[in-house]
Amino acid sequence: MKKTIVITGATDGIGRVCAHSFAKNQDELILVGRNPDKLAALVYSLQVTGATVHSYVADLSLAKETFLLSETIRKNHPKIDVLLNNAGAYFDQYTLTKEGLESTFALNHLNYFILSLGLLPSLKRAGEARIVNVASRAHMGVSLNFEDLLGEKEYSGWKQYQRSKLMNIYFTYELAERLNQTKITVNCLHPGFVKTKFGQNNDGLAKILLTFAQNIFAISEDKGAETSIFLVTDPSVSSVSGKYFVKKKIEKSSEPSYDVTARRNLWTYTEELLKSKFNFKFPGF
Protein backbone atom coordinates (compact mmCIF):
# COMPACT_ATOMS: atom_id res chain seq x y z
CA MET A 1 0.00 0.00 0.00
CA LYS A 2 1.24 3.48 -0.86
CA LYS A 3 2.60 5.51 2.03
CA THR A 4 3.25 9.20 2.55
CA ILE A 5 6.81 9.51 3.87
CA VAL A 6 8.66 12.56 5.18
CA ILE A 7 12.46 12.39 4.86
CA THR A 8 14.76 15.03 6.34
CA GLY A 9 18.33 15.40 5.14
CA ALA A 10 17.05 13.99 1.87
CA THR A 11 19.60 15.35 -0.60
CA ASP A 12 22.67 13.36 0.47
CA GLY A 13 23.78 10.02 1.83
CA ILE A 14 21.22 7.83 3.57
CA GLY A 15 18.38 10.26 2.97
CA ARG A 16 18.90 10.24 -0.79
CA VAL A 17 19.20 6.45 -0.95
CA CYS A 18 15.98 6.11 1.07
CA ALA A 19 14.17 8.54 -1.22
CA HIS A 20 15.08 6.51 -4.31
CA SER A 21 14.14 3.26 -2.58
CA PHE A 22 10.70 4.50 -1.48
CA ALA A 23 10.06 6.03 -4.91
CA LYS A 24 10.32 2.55 -6.42
CA ASN A 25 7.38 1.53 -4.22
CA GLN A 26 5.39 4.47 -5.64
CA ASP A 27 5.21 6.02 -2.17
CA GLU A 28 4.37 9.71 -1.91
CA LEU A 29 7.50 11.52 -0.76
CA ILE A 30 7.88 14.72 1.25
CA LEU A 31 11.54 15.69 1.06
CA VAL A 32 13.26 18.26 3.26
CA GLY A 33 16.68 19.70 2.45
CA ARG A 34 18.69 22.85 3.08
CA ASN A 35 20.17 23.32 -0.40
CA PRO A 36 17.48 24.32 -2.93
CA ASP A 37 19.52 23.32 -5.99
CA LYS A 38 20.33 19.85 -4.68
CA LEU A 39 16.75 19.39 -3.58
CA ALA A 40 15.40 20.40 -7.00
CA ALA A 41 17.80 17.99 -8.72
CA LEU A 42 16.71 15.13 -6.45
CA VAL A 43 13.03 15.89 -7.01
CA TYR A 44 13.55 15.88 -10.78
CA SER A 45 15.42 12.55 -10.68
CA LEU A 46 12.54 10.99 -8.74
CA GLN A 47 9.70 12.53 -10.74
CA VAL A 48 11.04 11.17 -14.03
CA THR A 49 10.42 7.70 -12.56
CA GLY A 50 6.77 8.62 -11.97
CA ALA A 51 7.04 9.22 -8.23
CA THR A 52 4.86 11.78 -6.44
CA VAL A 53 7.27 14.15 -4.72
CA HIS A 54 6.88 17.30 -2.64
CA SER A 55 9.87 19.30 -1.43
CA TYR A 56 10.52 21.86 1.28
CA VAL A 57 13.66 23.92 1.73
CA ALA A 58 14.54 24.48 5.38
CA ASP A 59 17.53 24.91 7.67
CA LEU A 60 16.69 22.44 10.42
CA SER A 61 19.33 23.89 12.74
CA LEU A 62 16.96 26.85 13.18
CA ALA A 63 14.12 26.10 15.57
CA LYS A 64 11.75 28.73 14.16
CA GLU A 65 12.26 27.48 10.62
CA THR A 66 11.73 23.88 11.72
CA PHE A 67 8.57 24.79 13.61
CA LEU A 68 7.15 26.70 10.63
CA LEU A 69 8.05 23.76 8.40
CA SER A 70 6.10 21.39 10.64
CA GLU A 71 3.06 23.69 10.45
CA THR A 72 3.31 23.94 6.66
CA ILE A 73 3.68 20.19 6.13
CA ARG A 74 0.84 19.50 8.54
CA LYS A 75 -1.41 21.90 6.66
CA ASN A 76 -0.50 20.57 3.20
CA HIS A 77 -0.41 16.89 4.16
CA PRO A 78 -3.11 16.05 6.72
CA LYS A 79 -2.14 12.35 6.68
CA ILE A 80 1.46 11.15 7.01
CA ASP A 81 2.45 7.50 7.41
CA VAL A 82 6.14 7.86 8.23
CA LEU A 83 8.53 10.52 9.51
CA LEU A 84 12.18 9.61 8.93
CA ASN A 85 14.29 12.00 11.04
CA ASN A 86 17.62 11.73 9.27
CA ALA A 87 19.17 15.23 9.16
CA GLY A 88 22.21 15.80 11.36
CA ALA A 89 25.82 16.90 11.38
CA TYR A 90 29.08 16.98 13.31
CA PHE A 91 30.58 20.33 14.34
CA ASP A 92 34.21 20.07 15.37
CA GLN A 93 34.36 23.64 16.68
CA TYR A 94 31.91 25.32 19.04
CA THR A 95 29.48 27.25 16.84
CA LEU A 96 26.18 28.98 17.43
CA THR A 97 23.17 29.10 15.14
CA LYS A 98 21.64 32.44 14.16
CA GLU A 99 19.26 31.88 17.07
CA GLY A 100 22.14 31.64 19.55
CA LEU A 101 21.98 27.90 20.23
CA GLU A 102 24.88 25.45 20.02
CA SER A 103 24.74 23.96 16.53
CA THR A 104 25.02 20.24 17.35
CA PHE A 105 22.23 20.40 19.93
CA ALA A 106 20.06 22.55 17.67
CA LEU A 107 20.35 20.41 14.54
CA ASN A 108 20.75 16.89 15.91
CA HIS A 109 18.28 17.07 18.80
CA LEU A 110 15.86 19.98 18.52
CA ASN A 111 15.00 19.28 14.89
CA TYR A 112 13.83 15.72 15.74
CA PHE A 113 11.83 16.98 18.71
CA ILE A 114 10.12 19.86 16.88
CA LEU A 115 9.24 17.97 13.71
CA SER A 116 7.99 14.86 15.47
CA LEU A 117 5.71 16.74 17.84
CA GLY A 118 4.63 19.18 15.14
CA LEU A 119 3.58 16.39 12.75
CA LEU A 120 1.79 14.23 15.30
CA PRO A 121 -1.73 15.21 14.13
CA SER A 122 -0.92 14.11 10.56
CA LEU A 123 0.71 10.90 11.81
CA LYS A 124 -2.33 10.08 13.96
CA ARG A 125 -4.64 10.39 10.96
CA ALA A 126 -2.71 7.65 9.17
CA GLY A 127 -4.04 5.01 11.56
CA GLU A 128 -0.79 3.11 11.87
CA ALA A 129 2.26 5.38 11.54
CA ARG A 130 5.98 5.28 12.22
CA ILE A 131 8.62 7.72 13.44
CA VAL A 132 12.16 6.56 12.67
CA ASN A 133 15.09 8.42 14.24
CA VAL A 134 18.61 8.00 12.88
CA ALA A 135 20.84 7.85 15.95
CA SER A 136 24.31 6.26 16.17
CA ARG A 137 26.44 3.83 18.08
CA ALA A 138 28.50 6.94 18.85
CA HIS A 139 26.17 7.44 21.83
CA MET A 140 28.14 4.76 23.67
CA GLY A 141 30.46 6.01 26.41
CA VAL A 142 28.78 9.31 27.29
CA SER A 143 26.08 10.64 29.59
CA LEU A 144 24.40 14.04 29.75
CA ASN A 145 25.57 16.88 31.96
CA PHE A 146 22.51 19.03 32.52
CA GLU A 147 24.71 21.78 33.95
CA ASP A 148 26.38 22.15 30.54
CA LEU A 149 24.04 20.57 28.00
CA LEU A 150 24.98 23.08 25.28
CA GLY A 151 28.74 22.76 25.79
CA GLU A 152 29.15 26.39 26.83
CA LYS A 153 31.60 25.63 29.65
CA GLU A 154 33.59 22.87 28.00
CA TYR A 155 33.26 21.89 24.34
CA SER A 156 34.49 18.85 22.46
CA GLY A 157 33.02 18.41 18.99
CA TRP A 158 33.08 14.63 19.16
CA LYS A 159 31.71 14.44 22.72
CA GLN A 160 28.91 16.85 21.83
CA TYR A 161 28.06 14.75 18.79
CA GLN A 162 28.01 11.62 20.96
CA ARG A 163 25.69 13.32 23.45
CA SER A 164 23.37 14.48 20.67
CA LYS A 165 23.02 10.87 19.53
CA LEU A 166 22.27 9.83 23.12
CA MET A 167 19.60 12.55 23.07
CA ASN A 168 18.11 10.94 19.95
CA ILE A 169 17.78 7.67 21.85
CA TYR A 170 16.33 9.33 24.96
CA PHE A 171 13.85 11.14 22.76
CA THR A 172 12.88 7.90 21.00
CA TYR A 173 12.27 6.01 24.24
CA GLU A 174 10.33 8.85 25.88
CA LEU A 175 8.17 9.60 22.83
CA ALA A 176 7.42 5.88 22.38
CA GLU A 177 6.18 5.73 25.96
CA ARG A 178 4.05 8.87 25.56
CA LEU A 179 2.49 7.44 22.40
CA ASN A 180 1.96 3.91 23.72
CA GLN A 181 -1.84 4.31 23.61
CA THR A 182 -1.73 5.28 19.93
CA LYS A 183 -0.86 3.37 16.76
CA ILE A 184 2.30 5.42 16.18
CA THR A 185 5.55 3.54 16.71
CA VAL A 186 8.87 5.26 17.44
CA ASN A 187 12.22 3.55 16.90
CA CYS A 188 15.84 4.57 16.41
CA LEU A 189 18.84 3.05 14.72
CA HIS A 190 22.57 2.98 14.18
CA PRO A 191 23.20 3.09 10.39
CA GLY A 192 26.86 2.09 10.60
CA PHE A 193 29.89 4.21 9.75
CA VAL A 194 28.79 5.31 6.30
CA LYS A 195 30.79 6.91 3.49
CA THR A 196 28.74 10.09 3.12
CA LYS A 197 29.44 13.83 3.29
CA PHE A 198 29.27 13.59 7.08
CA GLY A 199 31.78 15.98 8.65
CA GLN A 200 32.58 17.78 5.41
CA ASN A 201 31.18 21.01 6.86
CA ASN A 202 34.30 21.22 9.07
CA ASP A 203 37.76 22.57 8.25
CA GLY A 204 41.30 21.45 8.93
CA LEU A 205 42.27 18.28 10.73
CA ALA A 206 38.73 17.16 11.57
CA LYS A 207 37.78 17.08 7.88
CA ILE A 208 41.02 15.34 6.89
CA LEU A 209 40.68 12.63 9.56
CA LEU A 210 37.00 11.96 8.81
CA THR A 211 37.66 11.72 5.08
CA PHE A 212 40.57 9.33 5.68
CA ALA A 213 38.51 7.15 8.05
CA GLN A 214 35.60 7.02 5.61
CA ASN A 215 37.87 5.99 2.74
CA ILE A 216 39.33 3.15 4.81
CA PHE A 217 36.58 1.90 7.12
CA ALA A 218 33.19 3.18 5.94
CA ILE A 219 30.40 1.16 4.39
CA SER A 220 28.50 2.31 1.30
CA GLU A 221 25.50 4.65 1.45
CA ASP A 222 23.27 1.83 0.17
CA LYS A 223 24.42 -0.44 3.02
CA GLY A 224 24.06 2.37 5.54
CA ALA A 225 20.46 3.00 4.49
CA GLU A 226 19.32 -0.59 4.94
CA THR A 227 18.14 -0.33 8.55
CA SER A 228 16.32 2.96 7.93
CA ILE A 229 14.51 1.40 4.95
CA PHE A 230 13.71 -1.69 7.03
CA LEU A 231 12.18 0.35 9.87
CA VAL A 232 10.12 2.43 7.46
CA THR A 233 8.76 -0.41 5.33
CA ASP A 234 8.98 -3.84 6.94
CA PRO A 235 5.68 -5.34 8.22
CA SER A 236 7.52 -7.28 10.95
CA VAL A 237 8.15 -4.09 12.95
CA SER A 238 4.67 -2.57 12.54
CA SER A 239 3.90 -2.99 16.24
CA VAL A 240 7.46 -2.65 17.62
CA SER A 241 8.15 0.62 19.42
CA GLY A 242 10.77 2.18 21.68
CA LYS A 243 13.67 0.08 20.40
CA TYR A 244 17.21 0.63 19.13
CA PHE A 245 18.16 -1.23 15.93
CA VAL A 246 21.51 -2.18 14.43
CA LYS A 247 21.69 -4.11 11.14
CA LYS A 248 17.90 -4.51 11.14
CA LYS A 249 17.89 -6.20 14.56
CA ILE A 250 17.00 -4.93 18.02
CA GLU A 251 20.09 -4.30 20.12
CA LYS A 252 20.67 -2.95 23.59
CA SER A 253 21.71 0.70 23.63
CA SER A 254 24.17 2.03 26.22
CA GLU A 255 23.50 1.66 29.95
CA PRO A 256 22.96 5.43 30.48
CA SER A 257 20.37 5.47 27.68
CA TYR A 258 17.96 3.56 29.95
CA ASP A 259 18.13 6.23 32.67
CA VAL A 260 14.46 7.23 32.85
CA THR A 261 15.14 10.29 35.03
CA ALA A 262 17.71 11.68 32.56
CA ARG A 263 15.38 10.89 29.67
CA ARG A 264 12.50 12.80 31.24
CA ASN A 265 14.76 15.65 32.35
CA LEU A 266 15.90 16.08 28.74
CA TRP A 267 12.30 16.21 27.56
CA THR A 268 11.40 18.82 30.20
CA TYR A 269 14.53 20.87 29.46
CA THR A 270 13.77 20.83 25.72
CA GLU A 271 10.11 21.67 26.17
CA GLU A 272 10.87 24.57 28.51
CA LEU A 273 13.63 25.91 26.26
CA LEU A 274 11.35 25.97 23.23
CA LYS A 275 8.56 27.57 25.22
CA SER A 276 10.66 30.26 26.90
CA LYS A 277 12.87 31.16 23.93
CA PHE A 278 10.40 30.74 21.05
CA ASN A 279 6.96 30.45 22.67
CA PHE A 280 6.29 27.24 20.72
CA LYS A 281 3.05 25.39 21.35
CA PHE A 282 2.67 21.92 19.91
CA PRO A 283 -0.63 20.27 18.91
CA GLY A 284 -0.31 17.78 21.77
CA PHE A 285 -0.80 14.08 22.18
Catalytic positions are: 161
What residues are paired with 82 via a beta bridge? 5, 130
Give the 3-state DSSP-derived string for the chain, with helices as H, strands as E and coil as C: CCCEEEEECCCCHHHHHHHHHHHHCCCEEEEEECCHHHHHHHHHHHHCCCCEEEEEECCCCCHHHHHHHHHHHHHHCCCCCEEEECCCCCCCCCCECCCCCEHHHHHHHHHHHHHHHHCHHHHHCCCCEEEEEECCHHHCCCCCCCCCCCCCCCCCHHHHHHHHHHHHHHHHHHHHHHCCCCCEEEEEEECCCECCCCCCCCCHHHHHHHHHHHHHHCECHHHHCHHHHHHHHCHHHCCCCCCEEECCEEECCCHHHHCHHHHHHHHHHHHHHHHHHHCCCCCCC
Q: Measured at the alpha carbon of residue 140, what is the angle toward residues 130 and 214, in degrees to the nearest 5?
A: 85
The b-or-e profile of 44-76 (16+ CB within 10 A means b, else e) is eebeeeebebebbbbbbbbbebbbebbeebbee
